[in-house]
Amino acid sequence: MSNMIIAGIGGQGVNKLSRIIAQLAVNHGRYCQYTVHKGGAQSLGIVYSELRFADTEITMLAAEIPAGKLDYLIALDPYEAIRHIKLANNNTQCWVDGKRPALFIERMPEFFNESTGNQSTGNNNSDDAMVYLQSLPVKLTEANYYQQALTRYQSAKMANFLAGYDCLRALGLQIDDEYQLLFKQSVKAAVL
C-alpha cells in the first residue's frame, strides 16, 4: 500500500488532479481510495486530498494517513507542503511548486516562532518555506510549476497538471498519453 497527499489552495485544481491520478491507478489495475478535504469549500481555502493505492482490494481505512506513512506529496503551495510534512518519513517523495507567490503565510503562525527556530525573511514569499523544506530528510523536487504553466499554457491553472506529470514520471509510470487525455477531458468537462 502507498499513500499520497495532494495539497494546495482552492482554485489550484487539487480535486481535479486527485480524480485523474485515482482514475489512472484504477485503469492500470490498482485499487485506490481517496478523499478531498476542503477548508471552507471556497476559492483560496485550504484543499488537500488523501489517496491510498494498493495491488489488492482496499478495505475501509482510517480517515487520515498516519504520521510517518506518507509516501508521496504533491504541493501546489510550499506552505501547504509544510502543513502535511509531519506525515512524511525519510523516503517520502515531494513535488513542490517552490516559486509560487505565498498567498496566506498568516495561516501558518506556528511555523514562524522561536520554538521552531524558523524566522521569516519578511519577504512574504515562498523562500522561507522552501529553505525549511530543503532542510528536511525527504526527497524533494522543487519546480516553478506556476510559471511553467503560464509559459506553456498561458494559464496558471495548468500548474497542477505539470506537478502531477512530474510525480507520475518519477514513479516510472509510462502513461503520458493517457494522462494528457484524461486531463484534457477534465478541462473540457469543466468548461461545458
- Tens of pLDDT along the chain (192 residues) come to 899 999 998 888 899 899 999 988 888 888 888 888 887 556 678 899 999 988 888 776 666 899 999 999 999 988 899 989 999 999 999 999 987 666 655 555 555 554 445 555 555 456 778 888 999 999 999 999 989 988 988 888 788 889 998 888 887 776 778 888 887 776 655 443
Given a contact cutoff of 8 angstroms between Cβ atoms, the answer to whether 66 and 87 are in contact is yes
Cell numbers describing residue 64? 487520515
Q: How confident is the model at residue 111, as a pLDDT?
A: 56
Per-residue pLDDT, 184: 76
Taking a C-beta distance cutoff of 8 angstroms, is the pair 45, 95 a contact? Answer: no
d(C-alpha 10, C-alpha 43), whole Å: 4
pTM as predicted: 0.84
pLDDT at residue 114, rounded to an integer: 45
Cβ atoms of 21 and 4 within 8 Å: the answer is yes
Q: So what's the architecture of 2-191 in CATH?
A: 3-Layer(aba) Sandwich (3.40)
Asked if 139 contacts 93 with a C-beta cutoff of 8 angstroms, the reply is: yes
Of 151, 144, 5, the closest CA to residue 74 belongs to 5
CA distance 186 to 59: 28
Cα distances (angstroms) measured from residue 43 to each of 11, 64, 118, 161? 5, 23, 29, 18
